[in-house]
Amino acid sequence: MRYPHAIIAVLFLALQPCLAQTDYEPSETNQPGKEYPKVDSEGRVKVEVLAPEANKVQLDIGGVKYDLTKNDEGVWTGESAPQEEGFHYYQLNIDGASVPDPGTKYYYGAGRWGSGIEIPATDREIYALKNVPHGRVSEQLYFSNITQAWRRCFVYTPPEYSKDTNTKYPVLYLQHGSFEDETGWASQGKANLILDNLIAENKAVPMIIVMDNGYAYKPQDSSTEGNRRPQSAFEEVLIQEVIPMIDAEYRTKSDRAHRAIAGLSMGANQTMRIIMNNLDKFAYYGGFSGTSNYPTSDKIDTKTFLNGAFDDGKAVEEKIKVFWLGLGTKEPDPFPGSVGAFRDMLEEQGIDHVYYESPETAHEWLTWRRSLYQYAQLLFK
């Protein structure tokens, strides 16, 4: 049977409202060979799972639970409202069990290994896997005498590191957020690809990046008995164990002028304390969606805040070559308030800083990928 072109055109127009919702593509975070989940051009997430005997299956993403519907073969399917661009953690709920979607790769965040999905961002080129020279991400195991435990960091070395074996490199220590771990930055954070691309375009100096785990406790401090919050030993581990190990194992420039530190959220808070306690060791700070006055938005008293570390603004200015802060425009409370109060303090103390706003992103990885992209361009220059 053949239809005149005009009729086909009319049919096509009539079907437009349906077609508009059918540009779903398999997500780039899917496991090999898996068709679902899919993402459409407006950021909707569509999932599919076989659960023939289930009563209720939901897609749980962005704080909303979407009911799925079952077909005759026992396959449940459904879609979310449009999501913000970038990376999101999510899960499925099957009769009340919160489980990973068997279709995706898994990421550590929100305190568990679970599903993640990528809504392609307008500026995804900054972290795309491109035909440029690539550095390496290496797993470094070490025994911490301070915590009396085996720990692990990941180390990015730039593309030329293995070729030009006499050159030494500056180092950025880069930390994850709460309920995340040392795997975050080189997985969902794409730190390696961001640097590969920046270095290829001569926008960033080739550098080593060290990504450790911000959770560290001494054996006697690791219990949470009596609701006592355990005392973090991360600063001690980083300063006394990780930095000396990295300087011994890698070809680093080991003076303060060639060492930077940055972190996201909890990591921004931690690394700000660390740099202010160790100005002899770092010359660059980056706080992505966080500061050490978190969670309050009260005016900061520089006499007491971080033991008066910002009280002599001029001294801070002289020591820290780049003081960098970033925030997504859609971040929820208390982040805008506490970062705002911190910036007010810097202003009053006459401490110059760079402030970057990530358009249309929340307290999520696209904010932090963009922050690293911006921040890394200012380092060691």
112 or 319: CB nearest its own copies: 112
184 or 328: CB nearest its own copies: 184
Instruction: Produce one character per residue of 32-41: b if its CB has 16 or more CB atoms within 10 Å, e if not.
Output: eebebbbbbe
Token representation of residue 28: 């780039």
Q: What is the CA radius of gyration of the chain?
A: 24
Shortest CA distance to 124 belongs to which of 193, 172, 174? 193
C-alpha distances in angstroms, 230 versus 212, 219, 224? 19, 10, 6
Token representation of residue 99: 């489980």
Task: Name the minimum Å distance from CB 49 to its own copies.
Answer: 6
- Residue 316: half-sphere exposure toward Cβ, Cα within 13 Å: 23
- Scanning 184-291, the segments in alpha helix (DSSP H) are 191-200, 234-236, 243-249, 266-277
Token representation of residue 308: 């008066």
Q: Which residues lie across from 320 on neighbouring strands?
A: none
209 or 320: CB nearest its own copies: 209
**How far apart are alpha carbons 297 and 79 in whole angstroms?**
37
Q: Tokens 């530190």 sit at which residue?
A: 261
Task: Name the minimum Å distance from CB 329 to its own copies.
Answer: 32
21 or 145: CB nearest its own copies: 145
111 or 359: CB nearest its own copies: 111
Task: Name the minimum Å distance from CB 376 to its own copies.
Answer: 19
164 or 352: CB nearest its own copies: 164
How many CB atoms are closer than 10 A to CB 133?
A: 11
Task: Name the minimum Å distance from CB 55 to its own copies.
Answer: 6
Token representation of residue 321: 């070559």
- Scanning 20-91, the segments in alpha helix (DSSP H) are none
Name the residue type at position 264: L
Task: Name the minimum Å distance from CB 74 to its own copies.
Answer: 6
Task: Name the minimum Å distance from CB 298 to its own copies.
Answer: 33
Q: Roughly what angle, to the nearest 10 degrees, separates helices 191-200 and 365-376?
A: 30
Task: Name the minimum Å distance from CB 196 to its own copies.
Answer: 9
56 or 256: CB nearest its own copies: 56
* Sites of contact with its own copies (CB under 8 A): 31-33, 49-57, 74, 92, 94-100, 102, 105-106, 111-114, 129, 131, 134, 136-143, 150, 162-163, 165, 181, 249-250
Task: Name the minimum Å distance from CB 165 to its own copies.
Answer: 6
200 or 322: CB nearest its own copies: 200
